[in-house]
Chain A
């Protein structure tokens, strides 16, 4: 039963069930062991992630082409933003932080603060081209010998 302390204008609740009651302090495994287990699975997971990138590129390409042709609006902006958002979250998680950086750039260029009419489409196009290149070459991060031009291009593809 939750213990409730009444104060002036508010209450303090102390729930009886706590996470500590649910986990034991014996029989657990070390973080090192968890990381070892996870490392075994990451190769397969990363392949699945990489296999999903062409579809991401295609969704951005379709929406961006519509915007470039003057046929798109907020829905296309939202599609591109969401793809960028997903990339931003997944890139680093799957060992491809450079894709996360590209995703972050796409988000910044398509955030809802921007009106569709003011979208900097050429900059989004640059990000898409970079994503395509990075995916094809499997460039993970700035340590990759092929990464330098990508990093420079990303730095230059910011709204002035």
Chain B
């Protein structure tokens, strides 16, 4: 029998510059019993929120304005302004080319989930992150989850409805 994790204590920040995606992600998180979630429209707001109340997970799109998601991930991994650099980061993006996934990985993303998103796909990826924590590597040109163990991430056109 599979474990039904209780997500109620998780605190999540999600970043997407689209209002409809905010409504959808918030609803999905609520359906998963995650009541402590905050939506941000840009990286600046995300940083302010992270400092005020550090989240357990950041979910971010790659295509953001004015600063893109890759820069946001790099800034978190650098521990800028004192944010927790080890915060798990799930990229949720419609940019699903292999190059996009590799860029996200090299910036320090923990996992990658391609849009469209559903409660099933987000739940599966979150459970994966819970059950498969990755050590961090700090080298001269990279800090982030150990890339020698690949992200579960790239299913390319994965479309779980």
Q: Using CB atoms, name the residue of chain B closest to A107.
A: B94
A13 near B86 (CB under 8 angstroms)?
yes
B86 near A91 (CB under 8 angstroms)?
no
Which of A37-45, A57-65, A116-124, A130-138 makes up part of the contact surface?
Answer: A37-45
B interface residue count range (under 10 / 10 to 19 / 20 to 34 / 35 or more): 35 or more
A78-109 contacts to B (CB < 8 Å)? 82, 85-86, 88-94, 97, 100, 103
B1-29 contacts to A (CB < 8 Å)? 3-10, 18-21, 23-24, 27-28
Partner of A93, one of B3, B21, B63, B139: B21
Among the interface residues B4, B18, B20, B161, which one has the most CB atoms of the partner chain A within 10 A? Answer: B20
Q: When chains A and B are docked, how far (Å) is the Cα of A91 from the Cα of B20?
A: 11
The smallest beta-carbon distance between A126 and chain B, in angstroms, is 21
Question: Across the interface, which residues of A come within 8 angstroms of B130, CB to CB?
Answer: 18-20, 23
B27 near A48 (CB under 8 angstroms)?
no
Q: A31-B120, A34-B31, A48-B23 are in contact. Are A89 and B94 (CB under 8 A)?
A: yes
Question: Across the interface, which residues of A come within 8 angstroms of B33, CB to CB?
Answer: 28-29, 34
Q: A14-B135, A24-B9, A90-B21 are in contact. Are A85 and B31 (CB under 8 A)?
A: no
Question: Across the interface, which residues of A come within 8 angstroms of B28, CB to CB?
Answer: 38
Q: Does B154 contact A (CB under 8 A)?
A: no
Q: Does B137 contact A (CB under 8 A)?
A: yes
Question: Across the interface, which residues of B come within 8 angstroms of A31, CB to CB?
Answer: 119-120, 123
Q: Does B81 contact A (CB under 8 A)?
A: no
Q: When chains A and B are docked, how far (Å) is the Cα of A142 from the Cα of B27?
A: 27
Which of A4-12, A67-75, A152-160 makes up part of the contact surface?
Answer: A4-12
B116 near A100 (CB under 8 angstroms)?
yes
Q: A52-B20, A89-B116, A93-B24 are in contact. Are A12 and B137 (CB under 8 A)?
A: yes
Q: Using CB atoms, name the residue of chain B closest to A31.
A: B123
Q: When chains A and B are docked, how far (Å) is the Cα of A86 from the Cα of B131?
A: 31
Encoded as 1 (CB less than 8 Å from any A CB) or 0, chain B from 103 to 126 comes to 000000000000111111001001
Q: A31-B120, A41-B27 are in contact. Are A26 and B86 (CB under 8 A)?
A: no
Q: Does B136 contact A (CB under 8 A)?
A: yes
Q: Residues on B close to A: CB < 8 A?
A: 3-10, 18-21, 23-24, 27-28, 30-33, 56-57, 61, 63, 86, 88, 93-95, 115-120, 123, 126, 129-131, 133, 135-140, 146, 159, 161
Q: Residues on A close to B: CB < 8 A?
A: 2, 9-15, 17-20, 22-31, 34-35, 37-38, 41, 45, 48-49, 52, 82, 85-86, 88-94, 97, 100, 103
CB pairs A–B below 8 angstroms (13 shown): A12-B135, A19-B57, A20-B131, A22-B9, A23-B7, A29-B4, A31-B120, A37-B119, A41-B31, A48-B23, A82-B63, A89-B18, A89-B21
